[in-house]
Chain A
Amino acid sequence: MGSTDATLVFARGPLFYTALMIFIVGMAYRLVSVLLLGWKRDRVPNKGSKLRGVAVTYAKGLLIFPFIPWVKKTFRGNQTTYLAGGMFHFGLFVVIFLGTAHMLVWKSLLGFGWPTLALPIVDFLSAAAIVAMIALFVNRLANPVLRLISGPSEWLNLLIVFLPMVTGYGLTHHRLLGIVALPYENLYIMHMMSINLMLIWIPFSRISHFMFYFFSRTYHGAQAGKRAVMP
């Protein structure tokens, strides 16, 4: 029993639960502070159906554009962002929800588990997500618009999401890389620490867009729906 083991126990135990609590409370705070600013009632008579617009916009946003982005004409001018952005999110969701190791974490938190994908698939997608992140980073450096709109927090966001991903990928390939890399426990500690950092960071950053996505998408769909145009 060395200090490494104790650190690992701390990182995946008390520290992880604390980070998780900060994440949950922080996101709740963000949600409430936005909601408290107040919504105005829309008294405009509809031409089409708001509900239909909302349904169509989610169907397009979640099922069509991430997989066949070229149906959108703006795709031509922004291929890296579309492809790498789509690949990154897809890989991330698969790894977090359908990777066996992560499902077991969910199971310990929620009390129930679910079937997962075979390791080679998850492994391939996590590698793809890492490559996509590097592409997004280079794109942010190279594209004049992205350079202009990126402040310190945008660069930090990329780094803070990148760390858990590379350390996690390193863990699955430890046997292969073990000869040159760190001991397994040390890598595991780094993975857990970077996850804890990310969880604490999310509520204070734009990574929290996953929550506000549902606001803006719903609103967009409703606006298009009431005008009877395609969202």
Chain B
Amino acid sequence: MTTTIAPAPARAAIDSFIHTTGSWVASQLDACTRCGICAEACHFYEATGNPEFAPVWKVELLRRAYEQRFTLTGRAKLMLGLDKPVTDEDISHWSPIVYEACTLCNKCAMVCPMGIQLGPLIHDVREAMAEAEIIPADLVEAVRKQEEIGSPLGVTDDAWVDRIEWIADEWEVEIPIDVKGSDTMVAFTSIELMKFPENIVAIAKILNAAGEKWTISTPGREVVNFGVFEGNPDRVKLFMARLLDSAKELGVKRLVVTECGHAYDLLRWTAPNMVEMPCEVTHIVAVIDELIKAKRITLRPGAFDEGGTITFHDACKIQRRGGHIEEPRNILKLLAPTSFKELDRCREESVCCGGGGGVIAIKEADPLRYKVFELKIRQMEEVGATRVAMTCANCRLQFTESLQHFGSPVKAVGLSHLVAEALVEE
């Protein structure tokens, strides 16, 4: 009898699959009936019709590894040649499928008749890819920048300080830095810092108007976590520690994540299972809603009713996965009671922007990303939107760039920005 030892990438991936397989993964994989309904939920499949983009197919290697290691049928099928092993070629073949044609938006879980959590399972597949080191080059580069420089966009410590000072001067807004004993620590993304500085201004204005004791942190300056996109748990923890250690150091009661979807999902819904949390974690949209309800800020009702239909794009990690579905609607109903219209598929069933999960950072994925965005354009056309609000800077980057690519007149705006514009000074 000859024993075949799987060569390096496949071996590493299989080890990772086996390592991540607990009762949770096993029961999910065993519940699957291979009905294919998940394909219809996937925006990548809907936009391209490529059957390989079906979520169930994205977890194919995990299924093989699980069945062939842990089940009698799986072992028998492999021996009889009725199922394929996981090979090096498979790893290379599936890598772009899970990194470039999946935003981990988890909409598939919402339509699965069995309720299988495909998003987290696909994330497990990414972890295996990361172990096998078969990762898109652009993602590797972004991870390296975040590890060495402190930001995936390559913003250095000095550049960050300069930029914050410039923003504070230019818009004449106070931005407290490293203030110990504050109640709230706010963590922004590099995207906001470099591409949407008005968002930082807006959030600063809102918190100042409410008289909130808040601060940003120099060591905890980057909320984005490229370790999540890559699927490397060690780097996830490393990047997260920069934030959580700062929050602990500053002695804050809560950490507010701004417009960053996956960082919110990670810090709010995953981190407590990985590390000790120094404080509670919430999202800026929940804070704003809370400030309005507590009458700590006053907004001009109907401030954005003029100027055509305004709609809302649900971010997968802040709304569907994050739980903040009502808050942005409360705010929009106040700001645009007559011109606010929902998209056809919204809330938990929202169609992802196509740029999440690190996809926007991967150059090769651009054509696919634009193709998927056509769905979003069609949705916005259906309601005749002239403006689309959202609570995720990554979505907004995808919107801004893709709207420009297609020459669409629709304007993508941050919800915080609208709130800041409607503030009534007291």
Q: Is B27 an interface residue (CB 8 A)?
A: yes
Q: Is B248 an interface residue (CB 8 A)?
A: no
Q: Is A93 an interface residue (CB 8 A)?
A: no
In the complex, which residues 30-68 of chain A have their Cβ closer than 8 Å to any Cβ of chain B? 30, 33-45, 47-48, 57, 61, 65
Q: Is B294 an interface residue (CB 8 A)?
A: no
Q: Is A102 an interface residue (CB 8 A)?
A: no
Q: Is B72 an interface residue (CB 8 A)?
A: yes
Complex CA distance for A138 and B192, rounded to whole angstroms: 51
Q: Which residue of B lies closest to A30 (CB)?
A: B30
Q: Report B-chain residues with C-beta under 8 Å of the C-beta of A150.
A: 34
Q: Report the minimum CB–CB distance from B383 to chain A (whole Å).
A: 15
Contact between A228 and B323, CB atoms less than 8 A apart: yes
Q: Report B-chain residues with C-beta under 8 Å of the C-beta of A30.
A: 30
Contact between A204 and B37, CB atoms less than 8 A apart: no
Contact between B21 and A37, CB atoms less than 8 A apart: yes
Contact between B22 and A216, CB atoms less than 8 A apart: no
B interface, over-half SS: helix
Contact between B22 and A40, CB atoms less than 8 A apart: yes
A-B contact pairs, 18 of them (CB 8 A): A38-B22, A44-B268, A44-B273, A74-B41, A81-B36, A85-B113, A143-B36, A146-B35, A149-B34, A212-B114, A216-B115, A216-B117, A219-B27, A219-B28, A220-B112, A229-B319, A229-B323, A231-B110
Q: Report A-chain residues with C-beta under 8 Å of the C-beta of B31.
A: 209, 212-213, 215-216
Over the window 203-231 of chain A, the binary record of Cβ atoms lying under 8 Å from chain B Cβ atoms (1 yes, 0 no) is 01110110011011101110110011111
Contact between B54 and A145, CB atoms less than 8 A apart: yes
Contact between B36 and A149, CB atoms less than 8 A apart: yes
Are A145 and B30 CB-contacts (below 8 A) given A43-B273, A81-B35?
Answer: no
Q: Is A2 an interface residue (CB 8 A)?
A: no
- Checking B26, B54, B115, B347 against A231 with a beta-carbon cut-off of 8 angstroms, the contacting residue is B115
Tier of interface size on chain B: 35 or more
Q: Report B-chain residues with C-beta under 8 Å of the C-beta of A42.
A: 273
Complex CA distance for A166 and B34, rounded to whole angstroms: 23
Q: Report the minimum CB–CB distance from A2 to chain B (whole Å).
A: 38
Q: Is A151 an interface residue (CB 8 A)?
A: yes
Q: Report A-chain residues with C-beta under 8 Å of the C-beta of B280.
A: 45
Q: Report the minimum CB–CB distance from B115 to chain A (whole Å).
A: 3
Tier of interface size on chain A: 35 or more
Contact between B26 and A34, CB atoms less than 8 A apart: yes
Contact between A34 and B27, CB atoms less than 8 A apart: yes
Q: Is B57 an interface residue (CB 8 A)?
A: yes
Q: Is B322 an interface residue (CB 8 A)?
A: yes
Q: Is A152 an interface residue (CB 8 A)?
A: yes
Contact between A145 and B111, CB atoms less than 8 A apart: no
A interface, over-half SS: helix
Q: Is B46 an interface residue (CB 8 A)?
A: yes
Contact between B321 and A78, CB atoms less than 8 A apart: no
Are A144 and B51 CB-contacts (below 8 A) given A65-B113, A73-B345, A229-B320?
Answer: yes
Contact between A33 and B51, CB atoms less than 8 A apart: no
Q: Report A-chain residues with C-beta under 8 Å of the C-beta of B114.
A: 209, 212-213, 216-217
Q: Is A154 an interface residue (CB 8 A)?
A: yes
Contact between A39 and B28, CB atoms less than 8 A apart: no
Q: Report A-chain residues with C-beta under 8 Å of the C-beta of B35.
A: 81, 85, 146
Complex CA distance for A76 and B41, rounded to whole angstroms: 11
Complex CA distance for A36 and B321, rounded to whole angstroms: 29
- Checking A43, A146, A205 against B272 with a beta-carbon cut-off of 8 angstroms, the contacting residue is A43
Q: Report the minimum CB–CB distance from A143 to chain B (whole Å).
A: 6
Q: Report B-chain residues with C-beta under 8 Å of the C-beta of A73.
A: 344-345, 349
Q: Is B178 an interface residue (CB 8 A)?
A: no
- Checking B36, B323, B345 against A145 with a beta-carbon cut-off of 8 angstroms, the contacting residue is B36
Contact between A227 and B23, CB atoms less than 8 A apart: no
Q: Report the minimum CB–CB distance from A163 to chain B (whole Å).
A: 19
Complex CA distance for A179 and B269, rounded to whole angstroms: 66
Q: Report the minimum CB–CB distance from B207 to chain A (whole Å).
A: 22
Over the window 21-51 of chain B, the binary record of Cβ atoms lying under 8 Å from chain A Cβ atoms (1 yes, 0 no) is 1111111101111111101110001100101
Q: Which residue of B lies closest to A66 (CB)?
A: B113
Contact between B22 and A39, CB atoms less than 8 A apart: yes
Q: Report B-chain residues with C-beta under 8 Å of the C-beta of A212.
A: 27-28, 30-31, 114
